[in-house]
Amino acid sequence: MFSRILIANRGEIACRVIRTAQKMGVGTVAVYSDADANALHVAMADEAVHIGGSSVSESYLRADRIIQAAIDTGAEAIHPGYGFLSENPGFVDAVVKAGLVFIGPSADSIRAMGLKDAAKRLMEKAGVPVVPGYHGEAQELVVLASKAREIGYPVLIKARAGGGGKGMRKVDNPEDFAEALGSARREAKSAFGDDRVLVEKYVSKPRHIEVQVFGDNHGNAVHLYERDCSLQRRHQKVIEEAPAPDITVEMRAAMTAAAVKAAKAINYSGAGTIEFIVDASQGLRADGFWFMEMNTRLQVEHPVTEMITGLDLVEWQLRVAAGEPLPLTQKQIPLNGHAVEARLYAEDPAKGFLPAIGTLHHLTFPATVAEGIVRIETGVRPDDTISPYYDPMIAKIVVHAKDRPAALRAMEDALLQTEIAGTVTNAAFLAALVRHEGFAAGDVDTGLIDRDLHSLVVPVAMPAGAKELAVLHASGLLTKIASDDPWTALRGYSHHARSHYPVTLGEPGTSDAPGQTTRYGVAVLSDDRFEVATPDTAVELRVRRSGESWHITGKGINLTAKTAAIPQGVAVIARGVVATFALIDPLQRADEAGGAGDRLIAPMPGLVKSVRAAAGDLVKKGQILLVLEAMKMEHTITAPHDGKIAEIVKEGAQVKEKTALVRFEELETAELTNK
C-alpha cells in the first residue's frame, strides 16, 4: 500500500478521499489555490501545497504544478477525485512518466471512452446494446439529416466530446434539423473544442440508470449494482438513489452483465460507471436500455452505492491502484436497503438557480434522522465562504433506510434539519422534490423537474412570529431566559415604568416587493413575557427555551425556532425555513457601514443589483451610489462624504465581503463647491 498520496482536487471529494486514506494509515497531501488557502481539505491533509491563483486554469488544471507537488512531498500516487483532470488521458500519461501512480484507469481506457461516437462503436462490437443512431465520422449536413430520417423523428443531436448537456439538441421535425445542428455544433465547439456530433433516436420517457463497475489489474471486473439518476435539471443530476426503483430482477441481471462486459472490453481498472438511457414508457424491461457513456472515474453519487453495499469505494481504488486484486468477488457483494443522495447547492431556485456566493455564518447538518442513518459529505465549515470560482456545492446529504419510502422520509427529515444562514440554498427545492407525488411513486424520468418546475420552486413563507423572535434576539433580552446568572435574569427590570429596548429591523424582500424597515420597541412584562411594539401595533409574547430552540407564543403566533447572529443581522431558523433580517443602527453613518476615506467596501458578500453613479461623477455625502443584494435583502450603499468617483464596481458583479466597491479621488474643496 502507498505511504503517501496527493489529492489533485478540492472541496468535498478531497475531504472524502482524505478520510479514507487516514483510516488506512496513508499520508495525504492537499493542493490549493489562492481562494482555497483556508479550505477544509487543506486543514485535514497532512501537508498542503499552494499551486496557483483562484481560477481553475491557474491551479487545479495545472498538471505540471500538481505533479511537481507530488514529487516534492514524496507522494507515490495521485488521486484525481472527479472533475478537473480526472478524465484527462494526457494527465495520466504525465503522472506515469513522472514515476507516479495514477489512482484510476489507464490513459488508454480513458481515451477509449472519451468520445461518445467511438465509445458506442466499441460497445456495439462488444455486444453492449446502444441507442439506435448514427455514430460515424461523416459530419456533412446532408449525411446527418439523411441518417436522422432513417432513425425516425424525434432525434437527439449530441456532441461527441464532453457531457453535461452541452452541444445537445432535441429535434422534432426534419425542417428544424439544420438550425439545431448548427446550434449544437457552436456550443460543442465552445465547450469542448470539438464540433463533431452524433445523432440518436430520442427516447420519449427516458430514465438515467447507471451501473457502478470495478476492475483490477488481474483481469477481474465486478458490478456494485445500479443507481437511478433520473432527477435532473438541464442534464445535471440533482437527486440520486440506489437501487433503481421498480427495477426487475431480469433487467438488473441484463444491465449489470452489460456493464461488466463493457468494462472488460477495455481492460478497465479502478472505479467506473456505465451510464444507460432507459425507455420507461412501458415500464422497465430487460430489452429497454442502451449504453450512453462511461465515466472513467469515481462519481459524485458514489456514496449511495457505498450505503447499500457497506463498502468503501475509495479504499477499493487505493488497493487496486497499489496492485491488489479486488477485495470481493461478485457473489460476495451485498445489497441492503435503499439510499438517496441530494446535492445541496448555494443557488437561488427562484432566480433560475443562479449561484449564490456568501459566507456560511450558520451551518448545521443533522447527525441523526428518524427512519435511517444520515451521512454528510462536505468540504465547508461554519464561516467558510462559497466562492464564485468553483462549483457552489455546500454538501451532499445521503440517507440510508430499510426501503425506498423510509429513505425518502429520512431525506426530507435531513433536509428540514439542515440549517444554513448567510447564503441562499436549494434546500427547500430538494425537499419539494422528495415530496413530489410522482417521484415518491417511482414514476420518474429526466423531464420531471422541467415539467413541474412551477410547483417545485415555490417561495417558502416566513412563519408567523419569525420577525418578533428576531427582534427579541436583537434586543438581547433572550439572554434573560437562557442565563442562570441572577444579574442577567434581572435584565429589563424597572422599579417604575417599563424599559423599552429599541430595535430597527430590515425584513427580507421578494422579487415582487422590497423588504421593509421597521422600528420596534421591546418591553419586559415578566420573566418570560415580553411586549414587541411598533408605532402602530403591539403584541404580547411568551418565550420559553426548548432545547436549542425558542418556543414563542402570542396572538396568532406559535413558533419553535432557533436564532443565529450573522454580520449586520440575525437569522431565524425554523425546520426547513431560514428567514434573515438586517439589524439597522439608526445612528450608524454610511462610512461606518461601508468604509471611509478613499474607498467604500462591501459589508458582506452579494450581488451588485444596480449602480447609480459612474467614474468621474461628483457626488454628495449621503447620495445613493449602488444597491447590493445579499441574503435576499437589498442594501443601499451611499457616499460617506462629498467626493469624486475614480472607480466603481460594475452592475451585476458578484462581490466578496470587504471587496472595494467605490474608490474616490482626492479633490480640492473648491472643486466640490463648484459642482
Positions marked catalytic? 297
Q: SS in 3 state form for 400-447? A: EECCHHHHHHHHHHHHHHCEEECCCCCHHHHHHHHHCHHHHCCCCCCC
**Extended strands (E) in 177-333:** 197-201, 206-215, 221-233, 236-242, 270-279, 289-295
DSSP-derived secondary structure letter, 340: E
Distance CA 156, CA 242 (A): 27
**What is the signed CA dihedral for 29, 34, 35, 41, rounded to 10 degrees?**
10
Query: 144 is written with which cell numbers?
Result: 446527418
Quick one: CA dihedral 345, 349, 350, 354, positive or negative? positive
Nearest residue to 291 via CA among 246, 264, 255, 249: 255
Environment class of 279 (CB within 10 Å of its CB; exposed 0-12, middle 13-18, buried 19+): buried
Name residue, grid cell 487496486. Answer: 320
3 state SS for 571-638: EEEECCEEEEEEECCCCCCHHHHHCCCCEEECCCCEEEEEECCCCCCEECCCCEEEEEEECCEEEEEE
Q: Cell numbers 482555497 label which residue?
A: 36
**Residue 363 to residues 48, 204, 242, 402, 487, Cα–Cα distance (Å):** 25, 41, 28, 28, 31
Decide the pairing of beta strands 289-295 and 373-378. unpaired
Q: Which of 15, 3, 11, 39 is nearest to 383 (CA)?
A: 39
- Residue pointed to by grid coordinates 458578500: 605
Q: Using an 8 Å Cβ cutoff, are 222 and 330 in contact?
A: yes
C-alpha cell recorded at residue 148: 436522422
Q: Quick one: which of 150, 152, 212, 161 has its CA closest to 187?
A: 161
* b/e 348-364 (16+ beta carbons within 10 angstroms → b): bbbeebebbbbbbbbbe
Task: Output DSSP code: residue 47.
Answer: E
User: Residue 154: is the preceding peptide bond cis (ω within 30°)?
Assistant: yes
Angle subtended by helix axes 302-309 and 313-321, to nearest 10: 100
Residues 259/473, Cβ–Cβ less than 8 Å: no
* Listed residue (113, 488, 458) closest to 274, CA to CA: 113
Helix (H), strand (E) at residue 121: helix 116-126
| Backbone φ and ψ of 98, nearest 5° | -80, 0
Give the sheet arrangement for strand 618-619, strand by strand. Answer: 599-601, 660-665, 643-648, 618-619
